[in-house]
Structure 1
Amino acid sequence: MKSLPFLIAATIALVSATPPGIPPLSTAQTALSSLPIRKTTTTSTPGYDRALFPHWKTHSGPCNTREYVLVRDGTNVLTNATTCGATAGTWLSPYDNKTWTRVSDVDIDHMVPLSNAWASGADTWSTKQREGFANDVEGPQLWVVTDNVNQAKGDKSPDLWRPEVEGFWCVYAKSWVAVKRKWALSVTEAEKSALEGMMGGCREGGGGNGTTEGGGAVGSGAGRGLMGPGWGMLVSVWFVLHLGEVLG
């Protein structure tokens, strides 16, 4: 028989943090309709170089942006006091619903890839603006995901790639739009159509493709489910109140 602390910890562990700034569906749809459309006949990005987007800058103390996101979106993350590097923890990748306990198995994904941003308007930005974009922790731009899934995504837009977990498409599309809107970036017709289709499957407030109206944690129902931080607390309280009945 497992102890009460273990049961509560196991319940809370089902909840995974998500980046801030994921908009409600109606806000994302309105934002998408206002994004400028760019004509393109090629997927190449002339002049692009990843070095033009300085990333993983210092966030606070010895911690850079990557290390900050690993702690922000992980569970029970332990870090090296000197380097701030994660030494232990658990991370749930919403793109494929896989859980990892080794930091080497995860990457930090830029929701809108740097090269896509370059082709969408960042080619006219200053280096300081591009650095801000590459290290944006105020919006839904940086996500902890399975490393090989991130590599498979590469610099592809939603018309060319989307997460294998269909239940995450709604949040993925809303996050993509939020980033493009915040940074005044354009979309292609194909990109816009794909985003409209992905948001067409949203069921705000619950349901099979569920999200929460405020953009909380979502999933396909295996592991992540529809629970945001509030749900985790409520379920934990339920365990405390009803554990006696279960064990009795």
Structure 2
Amino acid sequence: MRTRSGSRAAVTALVAALALGVAGCVPPDEPEAAPSSGGGGNTAQQLGELTVAEAGSMKGYSRSRFPHWRNTGKNCDVRDTILQRDGEDVKLSGCNVVGGRWESVYDGRSAADPSDVDIDHMVPLANAWRSGADEWDDAKRGDFANDTTRPQLFAVSASSNRSKGDQDPSQWKPANRSYWCQYAEDWVAVKHYWRLTVTSAEKSALTDMLEGCRVGSNS
């Protein structure tokens, strides 16, 4: 007959086994959902967790390897989604954005015609390719290029988007200095979620930008 102490030992062992089983249900390779940008201390922690590596080769790169924009309705796509989200007094034809007002956070320029607005990838597609996305399949690259959950897509002036190109924060920063904190936080959030690498110069620039945020918040 099992003793009372033996029963307690069995229960303890069962609880431990169950706890281990639950922990084992989490796929080790699944990326954690990044918290929303603007986390301050969270951003600094995320930056510290990014892998520093030299920029990879552009061999094999093409924008077509990042399929976008995805359809979101009849004749509508992710571009319409971002235009509607970031605009004011937006006018629609069905779900197509045909008018409104947009102010570019990068340089403060305004536009009233959606054709004058670009949808910028916070982390550019070519930069992502050099930072590890070259090892993804096209489906995952499409998820990245159409990511409306992370701070990855923004309606900005065409001139600022084209000035930025595929450069990282060590090479290009928004003309609007008051946006630098948000820009650095968003850049880190995207790279952290998608497990992309940063160069040493890129990390240094981001560190300086985030240090400026802390100084500003303490003044």
Is the shorter-chain TM-score for this pair beyond 0.5, marking a shared fold? yes
Partner in structure 2 of residue 68 of structure 1? 81
Cα shift at 1:85: 2.6
Amino acid at match of 2:63: R
Partner in structure 2 of residue 239 of structure 1? none
Counterpart Cα distance in 1 of 2:50 and 2:218: 28
CA RMSD for the aligned pairs? Answer: 2.0
Query: Cα gap change, 1:60/1:26 in structure 2, threshold over 3 Å: closer, same or farther?
Result: farther
Partner in structure 2 of residue 48 of structure 1? 61
Deviations 1:60-112, CA, capped at 9 Å, x for gaps:
4442000000001111111111xx33211011100001221111221000000
What is the total number of aligned residue pairs between the two structures? Answer: 185
Partner in structure 2 of residue 233 of structure 1? none
Could you list the runs of 5+ residues in structure 2 that have no partner in the other structure?
1-34
1:91 corresponds to which of 93, 102, 117:
102
1:149 corresponds to which of 143, 160, 166:
160
Partner in structure 2 of residue 159 of structure 1? 170
* Secondary structure, aligned partner of 1:200: helix
Partner in structure 1 of residue 31 of structure 2? none
1:133 corresponds to which of 128, 132, 144:
144
Partner in structure 1 of residue 43 of structure 2? 28
Counterpart Cα distance in 1 of 2:93 and 2:218: 40
Counterpart Cα distance in 2 of 1:89 and 1:36: 41
1:121 corresponds to which of 124, 128, 132:
132
Counterpart Cα distance in 2 of 1:205 and 1:76: 33
Counterpart Cα distance in 2 of 1:87 and 1:25: 37
Cα shift at 1:135: 0.1
Amino acid at match of 1:198: M
Counterpart Cα distance in 2 of 1:172 and 1:56: 23
Instruction: Please tell me whether the aligned partners of residues 63 and 125 of structure 2 are also in contact (alpha carbons under 8 angstroms).
Output: yes
Cα shift at 1:207: 8.3
1:108 corresponds to which of 115, 119, 136:
119
Query: Cα gap change, 1:98/1:200 in structure 2, threshold over 3 Å: closer, same or farther?
Result: same
Instruction: Please tell me whether the aligned partners of residues 75 and 96 of structure 2 are also in contact (alpha carbons under 8 angstroms).
Output: no
Counterpart Cα distance in 2 of 1:207 and 1:165: 21
Cα shift at 1:206: 6.1
Runs of 4+ in structure 1 off by over 2 angstroms are: 59-63, 203-208
2:204 corresponds to which of 193, 196, 205:
193
TM-score by length of 2: 0.79
Counterpart Cα distance in 2 of 1:140 and 1:68: 14
Counterpart Cα distance in 2 of 1:205 and 1:79: 40
Amino acid at match of 1:33: G
Instruction: Please tell me whether the aligned partners of residues 25 and 204 of structure 1 are also in contact (alpha carbons under 8 angstroms).
Output: no
Could you list the runs of 5+ residues in structure 1 that have no partner in the other structure?
1-19, 209-248
